[in-house]
Amino acid sequence: MKINVITGDITRVEAGAVVVGLFEGAKKPQDDTAALDKALGGAVSRLINQGEIRGKPGEVTAIHSLGRIPAARVVIVGLGKREEFTLDKVRGAVAEGCRFLQKKKVEDVGVAALGAERLNITPESSAQAATEGALLGTYSFRRHITEKEDEPGRINKLSLMSADKTGMALLKRGVKRGRALAEAAVLARDMVNEPANYMTPSSMADVANKLAREYSLEVSILEKKDMQKLGMGALLGVAQGSCQPPKFIIVNYKGKAARGVDLALVGKGITFDSGGISIKPSHNMEEMKGDMAGGAAVMAAISAIARLGLALNVAAIVPAVENLPGGSALKPGDVLTAITGKTIEVISTDAEGRMILADALGYASKLKARHIVDVATLTGACEIALGKVCTGVFTSNQELADQIIAAGAETGELMWQMPMYDDYKEQNKSDIADIKNVGGREAGATTAALFLAEFVGKTPWLHLDIAGTSMTDKESRYLTRGATGVPVRTLVSLADKIAHRKQRH
């Protein structure tokens, strides 16, 4: 999609459609919507008075211009209540409007500056949010569909309206940032939506190499023999039931001359999770192709960080394996030794994500990273607790928690902090090893997070459990069915906050 910033009168824009907004409860149209209403002979006002346009979030109303203006259609999107208006409402409104027009096979769309009169929203940030909404809201994954009859249309050109030419540079900067964030999230969506026979551990390594070439990143792929030398017994134990070779992927971005890693992003990369010997029920097991969403997220995030040229050094670390049953597979009751030397009693082979992350977090700690954030579809318990609305945040570092929650609020990827009290550690105690990999049914998301905490030492560390937020089964705002790309944009925002804080100090 080509995205331009243009100035001029919205009533004179030549396009298949123009998109404008209306606040909930408004008695009459305002700003660009009012100008279009006048050009259309009061059509918008009449629909407001008749109760057909109410301005509620998610509401989309189309009016054919019948030649009264150059644009063939006027689309009014609901902005919700004026006092509750945020940048995320801009993303959602633009996404809903563009997806509606995409289904109508409209190829050329003009978008007004939605909510421009709100003092707390700058034109630059509005342009960024509109760009994200348009790109994310019109996403679809059809790579393996050969029938083309029902293929949705494609918006080839999107024009964002600017009130005057003086702010064009800022608006273009907003579009550039929005595109980088949205396209990174789309990369993560594509990776997660791929079937597991296409997105193997080796395929994830191929993606890393491609990103390295495209964004001048450094990449290292550790093979099984390398992991054996490093003592990654937990990861290798999970991998031993599959014929797919494990890959330990390290992608480095250097955004400043100083040495060291400012931020290590660690992502769970289970490309298919059958549960191993502790096999899962067959119902919905196909969704387990998405158990590498954390790995996809950190790889996509570092690509956007590099694209935006953020001033910090970042490492993305992805342990990529399959978890399958077989004659050589890991068994309940086995004991594994992680990279740190800590021994793990395996209670369930279906609690495999925390074991591969144990070695990845131990590796990140040996890098002496200043901050570590891991992302994983780790526990069904977190999805039960928070549903599909919020990602669970677990950490013993409150400053890092506050930063990630603030970043999530900005991006619309909502976060909620969960407890990490030492009292829960009792559940992870083993009689025959240093720790066991399952702490029981109670507080399962917390005991899983406390398991991970055993492998990070004293480094400021934060764990994001995206089990509920990595996929969605319905279309809403800028989310489409399948992978969501959560929390790619939040990770980039966090990296930006860390970079700016370092610059101040």
**How sure is the predictor about 501, in pLDDT bands with cuts at 50, 70 and 90?**
confident
pLDDT, one tens digit per residue, over 256-292 is: 888 899 999 999 999 999 999 999 999 999 999 999 9
Residue 36 has pLDDT above 70, yes or no: yes
Check: CB of residue 479 under 8 Å from CB of residue 487.
Answer: no
- In the structure encoding, which two tokens stand for residue 181, read together? 């964030």
The position carrying tokens 């990999």 is 437
Separation in Å, CA 203 to CA 197, 244, 321, 458 = 9, 11, 11, 33
Q: What is the pLDDT of residue 116?
A: 61
Question: Would you state the pLDDT for residue 322?
Answer: 98
Given a cut of 80, whether residue 331 has pLDDT beyond it is yes
Radius of gyration of the chain (CA): 24
| pLDDT at residue 163 in the model | 73
Please indicate whether residue 436 is annotated as part of the active site.
no
What average pLDDT does the segment 352-367 reach? Answer: 97
Question: How many residues does this entry show for the chain?
Answer: 505
- Would you state the structure tokens that stand for residue 9, as one six-digit string? 């009168």
Decide which of 45 and 166 is more confident. 45
Q: Which residues contact 371 (CB under 8 A, 6 or more apart)?
A: 262, 263, 264, 400, 459, 460, 461, 462, 498
Q: pLDDT tens digits, residue range 141-157?
A: 999 998 876 777 899 99
What's the start-to-end Cα distance of the chain, in Å? 39
Q: Which one is catalytic: 189, 247, 307, 354?
A: 354
Cβ–Cβ < 8 Å for 238, 321: yes
The residue from 173, 256, 280, 502 that is catalytic is: 280
Q: Is the pLDDT of residue 8 over 90?
A: no
- pLDDT tens-digit map of 190-212: 999 999 999 999 999 999 999 99
Centre a 10 Å sphere on the Cβ of residue 4 and count the other Cβ atoms it contains: 12
In Å, what is the CA distance from 146 to each residue of 122, 149, 151, 198, 287?
43, 9, 10, 16, 22
In order, the DSSP letters of 405-471 are: HHHHHHHT--EEE----GGGGGGG--SSSSEES---STTHHHHHHHHHHTTSTTS-EEEEE-TTTSE
Please report which confidence band the pLDDT of residue 117 belongs to, taking 50, 70 and 90 as the band edges.
Answer: low
The partner residues of 269 in beta bridges, in order of sequence, read: 320
Coil vs helix vs strand at 266: strand
Mean pLDDT of all residues in 465-486: 97
Judge if the upstream peptide bond of residue 195 is cis by omega within 30 degrees of 0. Answer: no
497 noted as active-site residue = no
Instruction: Quick: pLDDT tens for 74-112.
Output: 999 999 999 999 999 999 999 999 999 999 999 999 999
What was the pLDDT predicted at 502? Answer: 59
Which residue ranges form the domains of the chain, and what is each CATH number? 2-164 (3.40.220.10), 182-504 (3.40.630.10)
396 pLDDT band, cuts 50/70/90, is confident
Mean pLDDT of 409-417: 97
Q: Is the pLDDT of residue 13 over 60?
A: yes
Helices (H), 251-369: 293-308, 353-366
The per-type count for the chain, helices as H runs and strands as E runs, is: 14, 20
- Supply the pLDDT for residue 504: 56
On the question of pLDDT at 297 being above 60, the answer is yes
> Which DSSP category does 273 fall into?
E
Ramachandran region, residue 245 (left: φ > 0; alpha: ψ -120 to 50; beta: rest): beta
CA distances from 219 to 315, 374, 439, 488 (A): 10, 19, 35, 19
**Spatial separation of the C-alpha atoms in residues 113 and 163, rounded to whole Å:** 8
Q: Left, alpha or beta for 51 (phi > 0: left; psi -120 to 50: alpha)?
A: left
Tokens encoding 352: 């495999």
Mean pLDDT of 344-348: 98
Residue 200 CB contacts under 8 Å (≥ 6 apart), including other chains:
244, 271, 322
Tell me the mean pLDDT in the region 466-480: 96
Q: How many CB atoms lie within 10 A of CB 372?
A: 29
